[in-house]
Amino acid sequence: MNKFKQFIYTKRFMVGFMAMFQVWLFFFLSTKLYTVGSTVYALLTIFSILIMLYVLEKDNMNPSYKIIWVIIMAVFPVSGALFYFLYGDTKLTRKQQKLMQQQEDKIHRQMTPNPHIIEKLARLDRGIGKQALFLERNGHAPAYENTAVKYYDMGAAMFRDMLTDLKNAKESIFMQYFIIDDGFMWQSILEILKEKAAAGVDVRLIYDGWGCLINFPEGYEKQLQQWGIKTYIFNNVKFSFHLGDYLMLNHRDHRKITVIDSTIAYTGGINVADEYINVIERFGVWKDTGFRIEGDAAWSLTTTFLNTWEYVTRKKEDYSKFHPRYSMESDGYVQPYYDTPLDRVNLCENSYLSVINNAKDYVYIATPYLIIDNEIITALTIAAQSGVDVRIVVPGIPDKWYVYYVTQSYYRTLLRAGVKIYEYTPGFIHAKMYVSDDIQAIVGGANTDYRSMYLNFENCCSFYAGSLVGQVKKDFEDTFSKSRQVTITDVNKTGFFKRLLQLFLRVLSPMM
């Protein structure tokens, strides 16, 4: 049953259904209702045009995103408009809007930014100071000192340390993941969670209904609750009479967070599944990155979790019980932040753009999916043409061929501007990270694609100065040495039909 539900929510099914519905509607109106069919179809087309105008009028939507959806609605003038409301727009019921706004107001009240840190960052680099202030004001995301950090260039190393910290938990364990799949990694964690819950530790788990749709049997969360693990599903995929339940399905909880005793936190791109630690092989070597923070900055990840917890449980929480228990010495600055599709600010995209625009010497980017809008294309090309060493690493072995084709469709424009592109030949790189000028790095869960920028709930962390920035740079250099650099000659060898397919898929890229 879960596999069937996953199939009917796939983009392939949706696009196929959209096309067949459009054809059926045309022939039905032409043959069965021939006396009024043309009038009805004309009215439906006018309705679609009005929807197009509505999309073009939206002032909080990226122009590239608008244009692609208008093209889809022009090709499928009736079903395209309906599909936009399911897959392209951010919509909530009034009850959901009210609840989300209350939680945003609450999390804002919990944050007490330190203006002296912003001043220090501005003295370090004016552009970085502005970016940190932007995140603080628009994302309820203070920058912190007094936090120790540790970077992981592969999932297995992070998993080992996480198990140790989970075993040492005394008060609470909070976990929030897009994907949890049954296997060695999950079973190892589960045994600890069961043991800790039985010992009275406050153990809570949130997993995304779509990301885990075929990984667990129906009602698995009830089994976890019987073991004392407080478990809730974000957007459970199920039949509902409430339209709002379906509107939220397009917004995935893409975050990956573990917080232990309110003071130690793990996050990055690593989900809980065996391929992330290379216990099993999927698409060659699976490279992913993450980090551990200990000290003051864990508070931001705690509040991010509690914010989601209040939404899924509909219960109020006393955040004050979960402040970090102690501080740690740090050699740089840490600024965790989260993004939501329900506000009017695209924090993840703007953070990435800020890194590119501020770069003076180099900017290195890793992403599994490169589906970019005009703003990012412009920023990358201007940086490269200005003498900045711009490099992007993408998978050598993709997990989704159609997304890979769209990624490759950008190669020509970027290469001609001087951007260097690398394909990670050992396998699939799932890491999402930026680094520039030995002074700033971003590591987190947000892909450089439309879904992460506009539709998903995400979290990332910006690091300024400190040893972690150098570790991220070194990891990039090691990754480049294992990757194949793409040339314009390679791109010119692309066959005609593949190019045509790439263009078609690029039109559908907002749904990927």
User: Of 375, 395, 369, 391, nearest to 436 (Cα)?
Assistant: 391
- Domain locations in the chain as residue ranges: 2-87, 94-134+142-333, 347-511
- Does domain 94-134+142-333 fall under CATH 3.30.870.10? My reply is yes
Span between the terminal Cα atoms of the chain, in Å: 23
pLDDT at res. 247: 62
Is residue 82 within 8 A of residue 321, CB to CB? The reply is no
Torsion of CA 156, 162, 163, 166, to 10 degrees: -170
pLDDT tier, 89 (very low <50, low <70, confident <90, very high otherwise) = low
Range 142-155 average pLDDT? 97
Rounded to two decimals, the pTM is 0.88
pLDDT at res. 350: 93
Sign of the Cα torsion 107, 174, 451, 215 reads negative
Higher pLDDT, 241 or 388: 388
pLDDT tier, 342 (very low <50, low <70, confident <90, very high otherwise) = confident
Candidate ranges 18-27, 43-52, 495-504; pick with highest mean pLDDT: 495-504
pLDDT at res. 148: 97
Is residue 448 within 8 A of residue 304, CB to CB? The reply is no
Fold equal for 94-134+142-333 and 347-511 = yes
pLDDT at res. 446: 96
pLDDT at res. 80: 73
pLDDT at res. 457: 93
pLDDT in tens, 424-433: 999 999 999 9
pLDDT at res. 107: 77
Of 38-52, 167-181, 216-230, 490-504, least confident by mean pLDDT is 38-52
Torsion of CA 57, 61, 67, 70, to 10 degrees: -60
Higher pLDDT, 24 or 444: 444
Secondary structure, 3-state, 305-325:
HHHHHHHHHCCCCCHHHHCCC
In the structure encoding, which two tokens stand for residue 372, read together?
């970019």
pLDDT in tens, 348-406: 999 999 999 999 999 999 999 999 988 999 999 999 999 999 999 999 999 999 999 99
pLDDT at res. 75: 74
- Check pLDDT > 70 for residue 197: yes
- Check pLDDT > 80 for residue 86: no
**In the CATH hierarchy, which fold is given to the domain comprising 347-511?**
Endonuclease; Chain A (3.30.870)
Range 295-316 average pLDDT? 94
Mean pLDDT of the chain: 88
Rounded-to-integer distance, Cα 53 and Cα 428, Å = 40
pLDDT tier, 477 (very low <50, low <70, confident <90, very high otherwise) = very high
pLDDT tier, 241 (very low <50, low <70, confident <90, very high otherwise) = low
- Check pLDDT > 60 for residue 53: yes
Name the one residue in this structure whose structure tokens are 């199939």.
7
